[in-house]
Chains A and B, each alone.
Chain A
Amino acid sequence: MKAIINIGLKKGVLDSAGKATHHRLDTVGFADIVKDIRVGKQIIMELNCTDEATAKAEATKMCEQLLANTVIEDYEIIIEA
């Protein structure tokens, strides 16, 4: 299975990179269309397992222990076959 993990700053935690990117898009002509930007990171991993529930549970443990810092970040896990 494959786990796609999206990690970003929590709502309410100022995302400076998102803000700077938003500002730059504004200045190059996208001010009307762009409402908000959050910049995060994506981790894609191939897993040695065929069971979706196990894949999700293990990826969750990885996020809690290492991949995300839950003081400031949220994560979302997408499992694919």
Chain B
Amino acid sequence: MLVAVLQFPGTNCEYDTKYAFEKLGAEVTIVWHEETSLPQNVDLVVAPGGFSYGDYLRSGALAKFAPIMDAVKTYAANGGKVLGICNGFQILAETGLLPGALKRNDNLHFISKHHHLKVVNNDNAFLQELAVGDVVNIPVAHHDGNYYIDEDGLQELKDNGQILLQYCDKNGSNKVLNGSVSQIAGVCNKEKNVFGLMPHPERAMETLLGCDDGVKMLQGFFK
């Protein structure tokens, strides 16, 4: 399993992401944004968290035209698996690889804490190790995580099983975190090879550091 982790100026979760996938047995290579191609035989591309290009203009907006993104778009169009975490999710939404957009949190605060998430759909490469309704406890750390999609778009997500995760309490009841439509924390594309979520599974890999619920999330990619 070879994982390519993208690195933009301002990315700050690339080494956590590398650690997480290496812990699960993958070989991980970090790919600088000025590269124009991905490594041969890559099994998964991850756009990690951070503040690419200082979040200038909009979070993720300037990264979408980085040289490496053409290769990522081609890779995704050919069925390659792509995962965006936090700022990576914002970048994939801005690029149009994922539906919707991420707005400023409705309380205007940067939110940084552990939060429960409920698995909504698991018939995809990412969450196949979890059951629908399973609750995981994963750190969130974002200012612009308020997921927006219009009513028709939301219906399409529901019809196609594209909603991956929703913010909830420890019992799995939906809970408002940041104002997201339908409390959506993560989605995938229609073809189910591009995934995005605001919470950070790569920061939940060790019980010593509070929780290792991220392990069973990321493990899905190894099946």
Question: With A and B bound together, what is the CA distance between A14 and B93 in angstroms?
Answer: 19
B interface bracket (residues with beta carbon within 8 Å of A): 20 to 34
Is A49 among interface residues, defined by CB-CB distance under 8 A?
Answer: no
A42 contacts B by Cβ under 8 Å: no
Find chain B residues with CB under 8 A from A69 CB.
58, 61, 94, 101
Please indicate the chain A residues that have their CB under 8 angstroms from the CB of B64 in the complex: 66
A 65-81 to B, binary, CB cutoff 8 A, 1 in contact else 0: 01101011000000000
Picked from A17, A67, A71, the residue with its CB within 8 Å of the CB of B104 is A17
Question: Which residues of A lie under 8 Å from residue B94 when comparing CB positions?
Answer: 69
- Report A-chain residues with C-beta under 8 Å of the C-beta of B105: 16
> At the interface, is chain A mostly helix, strand, loop or mixed?
mixed
| List of B residues within 8 angstroms of A14 by Cβ | 103, 106, 179
Q: Tell me whether A71 and B100 are in contact (CB under 8 A).
A: yes
Residues of chain B lying within 8 A (CB to CB) of residue A20:
108
Q: B102 to chain A: closest CB distance in Å?
A: 9
Indicate whether B209 reaches chain A with its CB closer than 8 angstroms: no
Nearest chain B CB to A12 CB, angstrom units: 8
The CA of A39 and the CA of B65, in the complex, are separated in Å by 26
A-B contact pairs, 12 of them (CB 8 A): A13-B103, A16-B146, A17-B108, A66-B57, A66-B62, A66-B65, A67-B57, A69-B94, A69-B101, A71-B93, A71-B100, A71-B148
Interface residues of A (CB under 8 A from B): 9, 13-14, 16-17, 20, 66-67, 69, 71-72
Q: Knowing that A17-B104, A66-B64 are A-B contacts, what are 6 other residue pairs whose CB atoms are under 8 Å apart, sorted by A's residue number?
A: A9-B103, A14-B106, A16-B105, A16-B107, A71-B148, A72-B148
Closest 6 CB pairs of A and B: A71-B101, A72-B101, A16-B106, A69-B101, A72-B148, A16-B108
